[in-house]
Amino acid sequence: MTAAFPERDALFKTFGRAWFKRDADLLYEAVTPDFVWLATGSDGGPRRIEGKAAVAAEFAAMGSGSVQRRFEDVVYHHAPDASFMTFRLIETDTATGATRSDVGVERYLFRDGRIAMKDVYRKPAP
């Protein structure tokens, strides 16, 4: 069963708080126990992050680097079987001050009233 649009908005609030706090326990209040996060690896190839321990490790890695991340222009688009988030991501290397800007789309799938999958697509901003 796919979550209704207002329920999705509530899930995204919890998901977002968990994301910025790097809190896997809080994230798992919004996602299914078998949640899958598909991302692009540093080599440009696909990465599949599955399980609470893997999500917690990813959060730890994100917080341990010298890169600060800021999302801008975030908009959610709900379709019957999925939701999409469009965004601009600005990353700043705190050691050098160098910045990088990407644009992207995240596709979210739902099951049993929770987020079951996050699939991330991003590329350098024009």
Q: Give me the chain's average pLDDT, please.
A: 92
| pLDDT of 1 higher than 70 | no
- Nearest 5°: the CA angle 117, 123, 126 is 145
According to DSSP H, which parts of the chain are helical?
5-21, 24-27, 52-64
The fold adopted by the segment(s) 5-123 is Nuclear Transport Factor 2; Chain: A, (3.10.450)
CA distance 91 to 101: 6
Query: Which residue type occupies 79?
Result: A
Contact 74/90 with Cβ under 8 angstroms?
no
Share of the chain above pLDDT 70, in %: 97
Give domain limits for the chain.
5-123
pLDDT at 71: 92
pLDDT at 51: 95
Listed in sequence order, the residues at least 6 apart from 40 whose beta carbon sits closer than 8 Å to its beta carbon are 46, 47, 120, 121, 122
CA distance 87 to 65: 22
| pLDDT of 108 higher than 70 | yes
Question: What 3-state class would DSSP assign to 89?
Answer: strand
Per residue in 78-99, pLDDT (tens digit) is: 999 999 999 999 999 988 999 9
CA distance 7 to 95: 40
Torsion 49-59-90-73 (CA) sign? positive
Per residue in 29-83, pLDDT (tens digit) is: 999 999 999 988 767 778 999 999 999 998 888 776 788 889 999 999 999 999 9
